Amino acid sequence: MNWPEIAAAATTLFFVMDPLGNIPIFNAVLTRFTPRQRLLIMVRELFIALGLLLGFLYAGNAMLSFMGLSQSSLSISGGVLLFIIAIRMVFPKPANEEEEVDDPFIVPLAMPLVAGPSTIALLLLMSSREPERITEWTVALTAAWAATTILLISPPLLMRLLGSRGLRAMERLMGMLLVMMATQMLLNGIAAFYFTLN
């Protein structure tokens, strides 16, 4: 296994999942539940998200061939989605939208907050570009999901350590890094499309 590339893929997936940005939304959705209920709901939703992401990772090639999508189109659309997510991380909207949900089953916690469109697009790109490395991508996804899970389940500790301003600063830093990754993905897609024309 190529551990440096696995670490790079896991880091990218972790940034795209944006656990720091999701902490306030998780808190808003689960504010009416007891601590024990919150923990059970979060664990359930995080495992559902992992199952969905693994499904897209392993079914990526079949989905792309069935829909007739090329790797360059996936790279370009994935780059655009990543760029939009990154811009929202750098310039976040005020968190004033609390959802009245009895039991947030799958939506919105598992999907689209953890298993969002950008993460799915990135996994489809990885599985279609190098399908022979599916085991490495599985390890990278599991590592990114585990780090995301730890951050989402322990927000009180993070709030004490970093404070709300520290969390915002960390999210914006992650957003800036994600902008660069999204730009590179977009450029790679344009270059791949250009070479198909020649």
Q: Which amino acid is at 158?
A: L
Distance of CA 9 to CAs 37, 117, 121, 126, 144, Å?
33, 17, 13, 9, 9
Q: What is the Cα–Cα distance from 105 to 111, expressed in whole angstroms?
A: 9
Tell me: pLDDT of 194 over 60. Answer: yes
133 DSSP assignment: G
For the chain, give the number of residues: 198
More confident: 78 or 187: 187
108: helix, coil or strand? coil
Q: Catalogue the long-range contacts made by 154-163 (C-beta closer than 8 Å, 24 or more residues apart).
A: 155/23, 155/26, 155/27, 158/20, 158/23
- The pLDDT of residue 99: 45
- The pLDDT of residue 98: 44
Q: What is the Cα–Cα distance from 141 to 143, expressed in whole angstroms?
A: 5
- The pLDDT of residue 181: 74
Q: Which amino acid is at 171?
A: E
Cβ–Cβ under 8 Å, residues 123 and 56: yes
Distance of CA 29 to CAs 115, 146, 168, Å?
17, 21, 19
Q: What is the Cα–Cα distance from 179 to 36, expressed in whole angstroms?
A: 37
pTM of the model: 0.74
Nearest to 155 by CA among 12, 21, 34: 21
- The mean pLDDT of 53-67, rounded to a whole number, is 86
More confident: 167 or 57: 57
Q: Give the distance, in angstroms, between the CA of residue 115 and the centroid of all CA atoms in the same chain.
A: 6
Q: Specify whether the backbone of 88 is left (phi greater than 0), alpha (psi in -120 to 50) or beta.
A: alpha
Cβ–Cβ under 8 Å, residues 24 and 152: no
Q: Which amino acid is at 176?
A: M
Question: What architecture is the 3-197 domain classified under in CATH?
Answer: Up-down Bundle (1.20)
